[in-house]
Amino acid sequence: MKKIAILGAGGHGKVAADIASLCGYSEIVFLDDNDAVKNCGPYPVIGKNAIANSLGCDLFVAIGNPMVRRSLMEKLESVVTLIHPNAVIAKNVTIGNGVIVMAGAVINPGTSIGDGVIINTCSSVDHDCEIGNYVHVAVGAHIAGSVRIEDSTWIGVGATISNNVNICGNSVIGAGAVVVKDICRPGVYIGIPAREKRKDMHTESIILGGHDSEKIHGTGERSQMHRQGIYEKYIKRTQDFLCALLASVVLLPVMLVTALLVRKKLGSPVLFTQDRPGKDGEIFKLYKFRSMTSQRDKNGNLLPDEVRLTRFGKKLRSTSLDELPELFNVLKGDMSVVGPRPLLVEYLPRYNKRQARRHEVRPGITGLAQVHGRNAISWEEKFDWDVKYVDHVTFLGDWKIIFLTVLAVLKREGISAAGEATMGRFLGKNSVSQ
């Protein structure tokens, strides 16, 4: 007798149960963290998600929100893939774990499907596509040939993705949208041709695991919502602007000299610019003085940091002079003087729900993590300090961090991780500075 436990007693769970019965499962039960849910159709809810690994049967996560789905799957020892008998899948298609392919779906040759992907009813994925982990392809969507879709992206009902298009992770493609060119930053894209709509909409509902979305999909969990105090709501932004303006005027000679030295030592351009996610995950351009060369290998890939980071660049970083152009980010409103440091866009889908809370406030030039070890502590410790700051934004706390930052810069502490030129990359679950 084949038994399966399905996590999530919502709409996706009902579909998963139907496919499971067609795949030969004679005993089907549900798990859900909502105590009010007693059954899902004819099948009983026997407990909460936490008991899944102890059941000794096949498991499947049937929750639409990709971040919640990912969080649950990472806690499970193994998950099965469910494919409807009426789905059409070519022989040389690669399909990951925890995937569901619904009735009438078509997946053509040469395509790879990552873990936790939902391929909905009557949707199609053409040849040689690469579909990342936890992607959701809605009903009737069509993905043309040689398309690459990165992790945790949502393709809406009836949407069309044209040939050879690349879509970055954590994007939402609206219902009926037609994507004809690459999408290089997370956001919500609608219309024909698809254009960006609201940058914060996706972050609230997908990246940060918005509580309304979680309630709909039966996780029974609500994320802790950030509440602004009087200082944060009415004073902090004005204080940031005035401090950044004053610092920009006072430090202008230092910035001019630094710019000339960068131009002489490293060449042009003087400034390093890069997309970074800010408050609510909204993308902005970060400004810093360059501290590395642009040396590449024979294949055109940038060489490792330790090779490109020059002696001059190390001095810039140790004195934090490379950070001075971020004062203009503060003036623009992209950043605050104090807050979690803005990290790479590619890290967004790798955060768990708690870590993603660092985006509930503006990122800062300095923060709690910077005065408690900077790059010499693990990623988990960094995020713990970031979330602690989000929950305790105060006037005295900010000025204490600024004072401690000055001391840390003078002492040149925590500039790099042990054995690294800077800081090891954040790879997701259990990632450390290594």
CB 405 within 8 A of CB 370: yes
Instruction: Give me the residues paired with residue 60 across strands.
Output: 6
- For residue 187, which of 162, 205, 211 has the smallest C-alpha distance? 205
Helices (H), 156-310: 199-202, 211-216, 230, 236-250, 252-266, 305-308
- Give dist(CA 368, CA 400) in Å, integer: 10
The residues, any chain, with a CB within 8 Å of residue 88's CB and separated by 6 or more, are: 105, 106, 107
Selecting among 84, 127, 211, 226, the annotated active-site residue is 127
Q: Could you tell me which of 56, 111, 59 has the C-alpha nearest to residue 87? A: 111
412: helix, strand or coil:
coil
| Helix (H) / strand (E) containing 283 | strand 283-289
Residue 45 pairs with which residues in a beta bridge?
Answer: 30
- How many whole angstroms separate alpha carbon 416 and alpha carbon 421? 6
Q: How far apart are CA 338 and CA 381, in angstroms?
A: 18
Q: Which residues pair with 195 in a beta bridge?
A: 190
The verdict on whether 127 is a catalytic residue reads yes
Q: How many helices (H) and strands (E) does the chain have?
A: 12, 28
Q: Position 218: which residue type?
A: G
Length of the chain: 434
Interior angle at CA 195, CA 191 and CA 196, nearest 5: 120
- Residue 174: closest CA among 144, 196, 143: 196
Task: Give me the residues paired with residue 155 across strands.
Answer: 137, 173
| Residue 433 near residue 417, CB atoms below 8 Å | yes
Q: Which two three-digit tokens encode residue 421? A: 């030129």
Active site residues: 127
